[in-house]
Each structure stands twice: as structure tokens, then as C-alpha cells.
Structure 1
Amino acid sequence: MAKATKKAPPDHHPAPNAWLMALELRAPWELWSVLPSWPALAKAPVGDGHPVIVFPGLSASDGSTLPLRAYLNNLGYDISGWNQGYNFGPRAGVLETAKRQVRETAEASGEAVSLVGWSLGGVYARELAKELPRHVRSVITLGTPFSGSHKSTNAWRLYELTSGRSIAQEVENFDLPAAPPVPTTSIYSRTDGVVAWPSSLQAPCQNNPHTENVEVFASHIGLGLNPSAWWVVADRLAQAAGQWKPFERAGKLQQWVFPDPTRP
């Protein structure tokens, strides 16, 4: 990955408190809520079946994204995991292997690839899109911390333990807050118990007007298992190439499920 230069210092948002961390225990219920939500999820917009790669979060593997990938596969997309086992950070060869996967997938299909990343996996997705804009169609992230300092999460010590790297030095290699040059959606939750939610907000970008932030009610651990997050992912993937529009809260149900983006 190319090194960034002349970056502004990241904003520091306090990491989620103990109460929000305790709310992470609701994650299994978010997965179970898929069952009563299935009739609605099955009616999600259907796209053109283009290839999609899904990246797991820190210390997670493709097993964690299996429910989401199964749902997207049911909608007709050509779905792949990241195929690198557990995500213990961008250790030697990880990002180069991911870059090769994106390039080879796009070349084999003849289509640009959409990248979906959960937490740290979203950082990979964003940075890969910056390096391979011709091969990436869109980026969707779930609870990904990219606009705050590394201490705006409750996972930075785990990152250092599992990756064997200093996160403070690591983030200096990239301009994480900069938006990728492709349509980008950041899905976040104000009740995230791992990542301070302002750290998942993409600031307006003059060079790329096709960016957005979509709020859902979810835990961090449950974001990739949450029916409302799945709906947003499906809705965003269904957009025709070159015809991006912001996510719309259509109907009374969606206006209740997805908070008003103008609220403070």
C-alpha cells in the first residue's frame, strides 16, 4: 500500500463506555432476528450479480461473515470471502494477497468488484479501493474506524496483541480518513460498544460526492449479522454501475428502522 503524506491529525473521540460494551452481548439476538425479518429481507432490491468480496473484522475469519455472504449469495451475487484465515491485522503479505484477489476477481469476471468490510475489514476495503479504483465498483463498511484516532476504539490493544504491530505507527502509513475514489457507504451504530461511532463517519469529500453514512441500531459484534445492516448492504449493491444515489429511508417502516440522518 502507498504511504500517505501531509495528513491532518485524526480527531479523537472517546472509546465507547462500559455500558455500551455490555450491550455487545445482544449480538446473538441480532442474528436470530434474521428469521422474523426474512420476509422483508427477501424483498430487498436485486442487483446484477456482480462479484463481491467480504472482509472480516479483527481476529475474525470468513466464518463470521458466512451469514451475510449466504444472504447476498441468495440475492444472486458472486460472493467470496477474503480466504486468508483469521484477520490478525495487515501482517506481511496480507494486503498484497488481498490486492491480488481483487485484481484477479475483477479480471476473471470482466467486472469491477464491490468490497464489503466489517470493522478492520472495512479499512482493508477502503485502502484497496484507493489502490485499485479501476477494479473496485463500490465500498461498503460496517462499523469501520477510519476517521478517529486509534484510541477511539476498545480494540486497539487487541490489535497490537494479535498483529504484533504498533497501531500508532501503523496508521501513519495510510490516510485513513480520505474517501476512496468510488461510491462509498459507511454503516454505523451509535450504540457500537467497540468503535466510537463518530470514527465511522465519512466527511464530505470534494473529489468524490458519492459517499454517505447510514445509521442502524446494532452492536459492533452484531453489525454483520443485523437485518437492518443487511438491507442497507443489499440496497447499495443493487445500484447500477454509474448510477449511484444516496440511501433513501422509504416508507414508515424504514423511517423507524433507520434513524433520521439529520439528527444531531
Structure 2
Amino acid sequence: MLGGQIAGARGALRHRIALAREDCPEGVGGPPLRRLVGELEWLVEPARRAFRRYEPAAARRPRTVMLLPGFATHPVRMRYMARRLEAAGHRVKRWGLGFNWGPTEGNIASLETRLEDLAARHGEPVALVGWSLGGLFARELAKRRPGEVAKVVTMGSPFSWSPRANNVWRAYHLVTGHRVEEPPVAVELSAKPPVETVALWSPRDGIVHPRAACGAPGERDRAVAVRCTHMGFAYDPRAIDAVLRELDR
């Protein structure tokens, strides 16, 4: 029995490694290496934050907001943004799932329950703000439960063009065991949710290609450029200000 389990684990690992070693489609790729290296600025962000004076403007229309973290990140990575949104007057809630290890029918169902509970508890639809993969979750939630979603704001989320137009799809294959274009849930990534949907993207993004995060007309209502890194979407004042402006619209 133990031998069978070991063999099964080895087979699963070989499968994941094979997925990670697949070729990228011709003409598709992530941002250039210099942009990827630029993402390392997040390592000095805590020190930089200690000397930064940043107080967001008060919200004209306070909302209930759910933040959805990016791939392989925990909600704690979005805590700085959460505190700034709260300082502006919004009610900010976590997504309730801990680390984001990719989509499953189970965690999508849990998010639907979480969304329903927040909307009922606060008596209003919830604004969904999703970073990277979290934005893809937000878009799919809005398609399934549009009556409980006020609007969707994605930040560097690869919903358009090719699912492999980024620099982490190999890691995604290795961790999840499935291809980015073959998730274990029924989705149509580029289809626009039936609620206001805004895509924040950055020409400085070192992880997701700007074309994939910006989207095309019909895939989102509006696209807004923010000059920050991909990691910076979670803490850069320019990104936080962009989110605050969208929540006030």
C-alpha cells in the first residue's frame, strides 16, 4: 500500500514537471527580463514605507470591499492596501481562503458563500478587488453572483490574450498540476462579467504581459494604466489611489 502511494506521488510529480517544461506558444511571452528583475523592489518596500507619508483621501461613497490575493500569496500581502482603504472609510474584508493555490470547484463555492454572507450582512453588493490571479477569481465570482457584486477591479490580472503571456505559468503548472488554459472549473477568462469591470494594468509589470492585463474592448468596461510593478499593485500608492478612485466612481 505504501509502495503504491509512493509510486503515485512520483507519477504526479513527473506529470507536474512535464507540464512546467512545456513550450510557450509562438509569439506569446511574458514581460522582458529587465522588467522581471525590477519586481525585486518589493524587497525594500517595507523600509521605504517607513519614510513614506501617504494618507488616502476620504471615500465619497464608502463600500464593502473584498480583497483577493494573487497566486501563491496570502491575504497578509494585501494588508497594507487593506489598511489604506479602511483609512479612506471603506469596510475591507479578506477572501477567507488563506493562500491562493489556484482554482478548484471547492474554493469557488466557498467564495460564493463568503460573498453571499458579506452582501447580506452589510446590506449591499460587494466590490471585488483582485490582484493577479485573484482578479480572475473576482471576474468569475461576478459572473456567478452578479446581484451580490457592485463592481470588479482587477490589478495585473491575465484575463486576456494568452494564459501563458506571463513569467509564472511554469510555476503555476508545477504547483497546481494543471495547465493555465485548462483549470479544473468551467471558465471563460476573457468574457466580461455582467457588472462594471475595470482592469488596472501597468507598462512596468514584470510578471504579466500588459496586453493580457489590459484586455480588449468588450472584455472589460475600462482599462486604467498604473505605473507600478506587478508586486507593487499590493502596496504602491499609485495603485491604491487608482483603486480608491474606482471605488468612488
Instruction: Determine helix, strand or coil for the equivalent of 1:167.
Output: coil
The equivalent residue for 1:7 is none
How far the C-alpha of 1:129 sits from its partner, in A, is 0.6
Q: What per-residue deviation string (whole Å, max 9, x for no partner) do you get for residues 107-162 of structure 1? A: 11110000000000000001111111110001111100000212101111111222
Which of 207, 227, 243 aligns to 1:194? It is: 207
Change in Cα spacing, 1:123 to 1:181, as seen in structure 2 (3 Å) is: same
The question of whether the paired residues in 1 share the 8 Å contact of 2:132 and 2:158 is answered with yes
Change in Cα spacing, 1:177 to 1:37, as seen in structure 2 (3 Å) is: farther
How far the C-alpha of 1:25 sits from its partner, in A, is 1.1
The residue correspondences of 1:110-259 to structure 2 (distance < 5 A) are 110-170=123-183, 173-205=186-218, 211-239=221-249
- Residue type matched to 1:174 in 2? V
Which of 52, 59, 63 aligns to 1:36? It is: 52
Q: What per-residue deviation string (whole Å, max 9, x for no partner) do you get for residues 68-98 of structure 1? A: 0011111111111112111000135111111
Instruction: Determine helix, strand or coil for the equivalent of 1:57.
Output: coil
The question of whether the paired residues in 2 share the 8 Å contact of 1:12 and 1:148 is answered with no
Number of residue equivalences: 224
The residue correspondences of 1:87-102 to structure 2 (distance < 5 A) are 87-102=100-115
Q: Which runs of 5+ in 1 are unaligned?
A: 1-9, 240-264
Equivalent-residue separation in structure 1 for 2:141 and 2:26 (angstroms): 23
The question of whether the paired residues in 2 share the 8 Å contact of 1:34 and 1:227 is answered with no
The question of whether the paired residues in 2 share the 8 Å contact of 1:152 and 1:196 is answered with yes
How far the C-alpha of 1:174 sits from its partner, in A, is 1.6
The question of whether the paired residues in 1 share the 8 Å contact of 2:103 and 2:183 is answered with no
Instruction: Determine helix, strand or coil for the equivalent of 1:185.
Output: strand
Between structure 1 and structure 2, the one with the greater Rg is 2
Q: Which runs of 5+ in 2 are unaligned?
A: 1-24
- Aligned-residue sequence identity (percent) comes to 31
How far the C-alpha of 1:14 sits from its partner, in A, is 2.2
Change in Cα spacing, 1:83 to 1:124, as seen in structure 2 (3 Å) is: same
The residue correspondences of 1:68-87 to structure 2 (distance < 5 A) are 68-87=81-100
- Residue type matched to 1:63 in 2? V
Structure 2 length as normaliser, TM-score?
Answer: 0.83
Change in Cα spacing, 1:132 to 1:35, as seen in structure 2 (3 Å) is: farther
Query: RMSD in angstroms over aligned alpha carbons?
Result: 2.3
